[in-house]
Amino acid sequence: MLPLSQTTGYALRAMRCLQEPGGQPVLVESVADYTGIPRSYLSKLVHKLAKKGLVTARRGHHGGVVLAKPSAEITLEDLSEAIDGVAWRKRCLMGLAGCTEETPCVLHDYWKQTLQEILVRLRSVTLADMARHQDPGVERFRADHGFLTTVEAERDHAHA
Amino acid sequence: MLPLSQTTGYALRAMRCLQEPGGQPVLVESVADYTGIPRSYLSKLVHKLAKKGLVTARRGHHGGVVLAKPSAEITLEDLSEAIDGVAWRKRCLMGLAGCTEETPCVLHDYWKQTLQEILVRLRSVTLADMARHQDPGVERFRADHGFLTTVEAERDHAHA
DNA sequence: ATCAATGAGGATCCGTCGGTAATCTAACGA
DNA sequence: TCGTTAGATTACCGACGGATCCTCATTGAT
């Protein structure tokens, strides 16, 4: 189990297709089409994210999904935690049940530190930071839906 | 999928119960009893390790399992590779199919480096190094089967 | 009130991994 | 040669993550 599951990857890509809070809702179907994430699976995923307070979904006419918080306030850790939970952080790297601080396995200290670095990283990267991320499906979606391009976003940011 | 699967952990613990090449064969059943690894499962695991040339198994009277190479020459990477293969090293951390050096995901470079550190570590730790590892079942096994204790092994090593 | 749009949710399928049990077969000793 | 002692092999089970299909429930427009 790598730190991020495939599903968390899905969540990340999907959320990059959503507008900031108050913006126009986006259809699950539309996101699925562009990203290649299976529709039904994405639907459940979105629901999960909604329960965790990361997105807001509304059904019926003109329904869709929007970010529940500014993208700059959503970290990778939020996504990881919402989808994969935190159990993996506590397991011994070798699956040894008796591996504790007192009776550590050979990789215990090493893994403890690596884990710490991973967490720091997950916390430091926000959804907004992902703009620099190259993802064909997502880029096409954003272009087709009038998102600012990475360059424009950078310029706006510089102005502010 | 963490770098090491539970089964690789099993392999590691089991192999710490085996004698150096030429030594007395140990029964799969015995190893299973001490370590708590399911017998049948361990049997298959041992067979896999034998095919990879890490252990030698002989059946029939006075049969059993022995290390095929000195424990100092068996690295964690050998075990990991034998059991889990190398596919996980190549996958994008977020499961993005299109993540390459040219179109990297946000975590690409970070993961690349982390992976490198993990590999260095897996290569640098040998089965012999594991002597310092605390594992109740394994320690009991070694004590009952006349292995040198960690302290004695250290002293021997210092003499040589 | 009704209808169409749209997310929610249940049932189910598939592949992998960990695990069990029964049986087959090689090796040795008497 | 025959029986015992091992590992080898096969079949199968259950859980879990990913994925699909189909139906239900809510919402807004008319």
Question: B42 in a domain, yes or no?
Answer: yes
Each residue's pLDDT tens digit, A25-58: 999 999 999 999 999 999 999 999 999 999 999 9
Question: B71 in a domain, yes or no?
Answer: yes
Number of domains within chain B: 1
The Cα–Cα gap between B135 and B19 comes to 17
Residues in A closer than 8 angstroms to B1, CB to CB, are 1-2
Q: For residue A11, which amino acid is it? A: A
- Confirm or reject contact between B124 and chain A (CB < 8 A): no
Each residue's pLDDT tens digit, A74-108: 999 999 999 999 988 888 887 777 788 888 887 78
What was the pLDDT predicted at A160?
A: 55
Does the beta-carbon distance from A103 to B1 stay under 8 Å? no
Does the beta-carbon distance from B95 to A135 stay under 8 Å? no
Strand D-proximal residues of A, range 82-141, CB below 7 A, are none
What was the pLDDT predicted at A68?
A: 97
The reported pTM is 0.85
Q: Is A91 helix (H, G, I), strand (E, B) or coil?
A: coil
Residue A87 belongs to what domain range? Answer: 6-152
Q: In this complex, how many residue pairs, one in chain A and one in chain B, have their CB atoms less than 8 Å apart?
A: 88
Question: A47 in a domain, yes or no?
Answer: yes
Question: A31 in a domain, yes or no?
Answer: yes
Given CA atoms A142, A18, A87, B6 in this order, what sign does their dihedral have?
Answer: negative
Question: B72 in a domain, yes or no?
Answer: yes
Question: A21 in a domain, yes or no?
Answer: yes
| CATH number of residue B28's parent domain | 1.10.10.10
Does the beta-carbon distance from B125 to A103 stay under 8 Å? no
State the helix-helix crossing angle for B28-35 and B6-15, rounded to 10 degrees: 110
The β-bridge partners of B102 are none
> Which residue does chain B place closest to A130, by CA atoms?
B106
Query: In this predicted model, which residue has the larger pLDDT, A146 or B124?
Result: B124
The Cα–Cα gap between A18 and A138 comes to 10
Question: A157 in a domain, yes or no?
Answer: no
* A13: CB partners within 8 A, 6+ apart: A35, A37, A135, A137, A138, B94, B96
- Confirm or reject contact between B114 and chain A (CB < 8 A): yes
Residue B59 CA to nucleotide C30 C1', Å? 18
- Confirm or reject contact between B79 and chain A (CB < 8 A): no
Question: B1 in a domain, yes or no?
Answer: no
